[in-house]
Copies of this chain bind each other. A is one copy, B any other.
Amino acid sequence: MSKKTVQTIEDIAKLANVSKSTVSRALNDSPLIKEETREQIKAIAKENNFCFKATARSLSLGQSHTIAFITHSYSECFSMEDLFSLEIMGGISTGLTALGYDFLVVHVDPHKTDWAHEYLDSGKVDGFILNTSSRKQYHIKALYEMEAPFIVWGVPEPNYCYPSVTGDNISGGLLATEHLIKIGRQKIAFIGGADYEREVQQRYAGYEKALKNANREVNPLMVTYGDYSLASGNTAMEQLLQQAPDLDAVFVNSDLMAIGAINVIQSKGKRVPEDIAVVGYDDLSIAALNNLPLTTIRQNIPMAGRLLAQNLVQFIKSGVITNVTMPVELVIRKSA
């Protein structure tokens, strides 16, 4: 804390020759205060670089104006596997700042939920943003039961009602697969995220639909699942190559898995896209920067972040529950 002499509302009350009630009201733009006095008080505050004590304000108002972003890293530490989280954090931070909220990042043990009580009951935060996580359903249920304000990135669970933001996964699956069909591929495989995730089921539905539309059938040997990580892309691709050595395309549910898949394909002496075309998902920054730039389904991640911020704050303030589905788009680069 700097050694300024005017630190509190009371200090500036003295300077302005009014009560601190009046200062509080003026600085908070209360319509009760006469325009003139308000301007005068604001001028004094500005001149002295005055700044409310957030902590006193929070105590009095019963809200912290801060939101927690709940995350647990894939490995022990943050790494490239968390690039999606990083990118969405950028959007969330932007959105929150614009609304006057602060952005707390909370690393949790995914198998617990006591962090929710801790952060909410202590008044440290007003709500939570749930990101992609293998334990998302578990977290959602816990937060829902305790009536904690939260919003989630992902398709909402049926029979629950809470705010959410998600991409249009069906269209994503459709666009990716249609593109592969359009460029003449005959044997199109699918590498999903975890098969119990609704997002993944929807992308699969899009994949299936595109094939149906082209009068084709899904070959179960060409369908496999990972967990979005690069390593799981390796594994899945190896499995696929074993089960269906003649495949000539694969639609992969994340850019990271796509990069893993490409590495495996190339290590087997096959070429991308000539022998096997690969379409990723997300359009993380790495997709364009990759050695072989990825054709992928773009999710507008910065906007997703901003919407998560805005809609959670709206929910906290007004109780309005918003579920948004964002459009996705096909970005054609080199891998397909």
Contact = CB atoms under 8 A, between A and B. Distances in A.
A112 B89 CA distance: 22
A291 interface: yes
A90 interface: yes
Interface in A103-129: 103-107, 117-118, 120-124
A243 B332 CA distance: 35
A183 interface: no
A144 to B, nearest CB: 12
Classify chain A's interface size.
35 or more
Contact of A56 (B7, B54, B59, B148): B59
Given A80-B285, A285-B81, A106 B105 contact: no
Interface in A268-324: 284-286, 289-292, 301-302
A59 B53 contact: yes
Contact of A82 (B56, B86, B148, B289): B86
A109 to B, nearest CB: 10
B2 A147 contact: yes
Contact of A91 (B77, B87, B122): B77
A259 B288 CA distance: 13
Contacts of A58: 55
A79 interface: yes
